Amino acid sequence: MKISKEEVLYIAKLAKLKFTDEEALELTTEFEGILKHFDSLKESDYELGDTSINEELVPTELREDKVEIFEENTKLFANAKDKERGYIKIPKVIE
Amino acid sequence: MKIDQMTMEDIRSGLDTKKFTAKELVQSVYKKISEVEDQVEAYITLSEEEAYKKAEEIDTAIEQGEVLGPLAGIPIAIKDNICTEGIKTTCASKMLEDFIPPYDATVVKKLKDAGAIIIGKTNMDEFAMGSSTENSAFKVTKNPWRLDRVPGGSSGGSAAAVAAGMAFMALGSDTGGSIRQPAAFCGVVGLKPTYGLVSRYGLVAFASSLDQIGPITKSVKDCALTLDVIHGFDPKDGTTKSVKNATSYLNEIEKGIEGLRIAIPREFFPSTLDSQITNEIMESMFMLKGLGATIDEISLPITEEGLSAYYIISSAEASSNLGRFDGIKYGYRSDEYEDIEELVLNARTEGFGKETKRRIMLGTYTLTSGYYDAYYNRAQKVREKIKQQFNDIFKKYDLIISPTSPVLPFPIGEKIGNPLDMYLSDIYTISANLTGLPAISLPCGFCMEGLPIGLQIIGGPFSESKILRAAYALEQELGLGNGVAVIKEAKR
């Protein structure tokens, strides 16, 4: 599986990450090794027999979708880096 | 017996018979930490103030003759990807270096309610991605048995803390072996429960369909005691199950293994496997046979594809789960940004470490249109196939036994530059995550260099009781289960 530096940079854009040219090249080499390993998937057959899920592993019922008030607002907001008048502050989104 | 060599069991009886107080216990643990932590580096955060406060509460309760929880007074540690209210939870990442959760994870709440005392938060591979604890943004944890070796990962801090006598139990999380492999490397017991037995509420997600929280302890009994406390249905985690388990895991543990049918997959013992590992496992097999189990060699083709499927699925889920880290509501925020786009981009680029970025990239790649079918879809099919293989085996057998790791604890720095080599060392542990099955690792001996070797027992869905019974029987026969590593200066 060949992968180009451009492809790596495109994936980075999707993943919201930035890489220097040097890092992108390094990733390209690493990816080739890893993806080559993944190619073993293509060589196996996928004739599945009985795919009924194990009874015991079926998830339980979900809880009702009810809003609950989280009382600890100060604790919740304590982790935001930039705040003003009780709001989280970020750069302008709409010009 | 010195306090740092005691098991949870010993401590419970020591407190009940007033041999020592909870406060004295906590003091002795922090004293031990002051002696060896500099060399081992197992902890990211210590929570001394809270620990002493809790110890005082326990001591008062004991004095007043109150009924105590099953873990009352026991000093424990928590992996740093499990939320603890008011105590920093960093996932060993710059991204969360100052994150203080406003709530406790369900497992933490349960442990606190049972009377356990939290000593601190343990080091790990960043966001639990790694097998050596070298991917931490803060420090590299050492293996207490030999300080120039890795403790395994990603729960390396938890395993090292228990092995070095700096905690009597430590919670870990296991996505592809992250509890079992460090337990094997550090000569302690580590259990990954069945998917859904233990709540994941408050665990910072890596790969949600694979993650499971479990205990790391010195002995199998301690493991059962902890599981008794932390398991059970949680309305806050839709994947948890109520298990109709009438009695406790601890009560069942001494029932012996007469008549248990054990399978050994021959593919798990290739000629390339270190003969010391093979020999120790085989020795244990003979012991189990002597205790009344039947043992058959079977075929379980673990090919490269299981490992590939694991890395594709876990990276895909990680790329989605870690999308939440954008520097806005919490987490790292760069000093430099012009607009919102740049704020997010810089927060992620500067906040995540190398391996985390590698996995996000890998996951994003295998999920992009054009590659989705070739990778992610196929990986899901392989996962189904592996589930079937294991299902078929558990129709005939009670347990599967294998090595926990194909390698002995390796030197620090040896594999860090070669991600694929590191990934390959998870070959024996990933199946239990892909299938959701429970699996334990326990020490079964030592290699010539004095490093521990771990044996893995895998069971059918929710067969923790059986696994613990077999592990306990073997542990008693081996006479292991209370060893604390003696910290020696690293031979450089």
Radius of gyration of chain B (CA): 21
- The nearest CA of chain B is from the CA of A44 a distance in Å of 8
Tell me, yes or no, if B255 is annotated catalytic.
no
Is A17 in contact with B436 (Cβ distance < 8 A)? no
Which residue stretches of B207-329 are H helix? 220-230, 249-252, 275-290, 304-321
Could you tell me whether strands B117-122 and B43-46 are parallel, antiparallel, or unpaired per DSSP bridges?
Answer: antiparallel
Interchain CB contacts (distance < 8 Å): A and B: 146
* Residue range B113-156, pLDDT digits in tens: 999 999 999 999 999 999 999 999 999 999 999 999 999 999 99
Tell me, yes or no, if B178 is annotated catalytic.
yes
* Phi (first) and psi of residue B487, to 5 degrees: -70, 115
**B 237-256 residues inside an 8 A Cβ radius of A:** 238-242
Task: Specify the amino acid at residue A58.
Answer: V
**A 22-81 residues inside an 8 A Cβ radius of B:** 27, 30-31, 33-34, 37-38, 40-44, 46, 48-51, 54, 56-57, 59-60, 62-63, 70, 72, 75-76, 78-81
User: Confidence class of residue B484 from pLDDT cuts 50, 70 and 90?
Assistant: low
Nearest residue, CB atoms, B382 vs list A44, A59, A60: A44
**B 289-328 residues inside an 8 A Cβ radius of A:** 303-305, 307-309, 311-312, 319, 323, 326-328
* Residue range B20-62, pLDDT digits in tens: 999 999 999 999 999 999 999 999 999 999 999 999 999 999 9
Nearest residue, CB atoms, A15 vs list B235, B361, B462: B361
Identify the closest residue of chain B to A76 by CA–CA distance.
Answer: B102
Lowest-confidence pick of A32-41, B250-259, B395-404, B463-472: A32-41
- Can you tell me the distance from the alpha carbon of B100 to that of B331, in angstroms, rounded to the nearest whole number? 10
Q: What is the pLDDT of residue B347?
A: 97
From B32, B54, B79, B94, the catalytic residue: B79
Q: For chain A, how far is it from start to end, CA to CA, in angstroms?
A: 43
Three-state DSSP at A19 gives coil
Q: What is the pLDDT of residue A63?
A: 79
Q: Is residue B331 within 8 angstroms of chain A, CB to CB?
A: yes
Nearest residue, CB atoms, B364 vs list A11, A51, A81: A11
Angle (CA) B218-B214-B401 rounded to 5° is 75
Angle (CA) B124-B128-B131 rounded to 5° is 75
Write down the pTM of the prediction: 0.95
Rounded to the nearest integer, the mean pLDDT of chain B is 94
* Phi (first) and psi of residue B225, to 5 degrees: -60, -45
Question: Where are chain A's structural domains?
Answer: 5-42
- Can you tell me the distance from the alpha carbon of A85 to that of A80, in angstroms, rounded to the nearest whole number? 13
From B131, B132, B136, B154, the catalytic residue: B154
* Residue range B235-263, pLDDT digits in tens: 999 899 887 655 799 999 999 999 999 99
Quote the crossing angle between the two packed helices B220-230 and B8-16, to the nearest 10°. 80
Identify the closest residue of chain A to B310 by CA–CA distance.
Answer: A38
User: Confidence class of residue B207 from pLDDT cuts 50, 70 and 90?
Assistant: very high
User: Looking at beta carbons, which pairs linking B30-33 to residues 24 or more positions away fall under 8 Å?
Assistant: B30/B119, B32/B4, B32/B164, B32/B165, B32/B166, B33/B119, B33/B120, B33/B166
Residue B164, C-beta contacts closer than 8 angstroms, at least 6 positions apart: B32, B36, B40, B42, B144, B484, B485, B487
Lowest-confidence pick of A34-48, B40-54, B115-129, B166-180: A34-48
Tell me, yes or no, if B79 is annotated catalytic.
yes
Is A8 in contact with B196 (Cβ distance < 8 A)? no
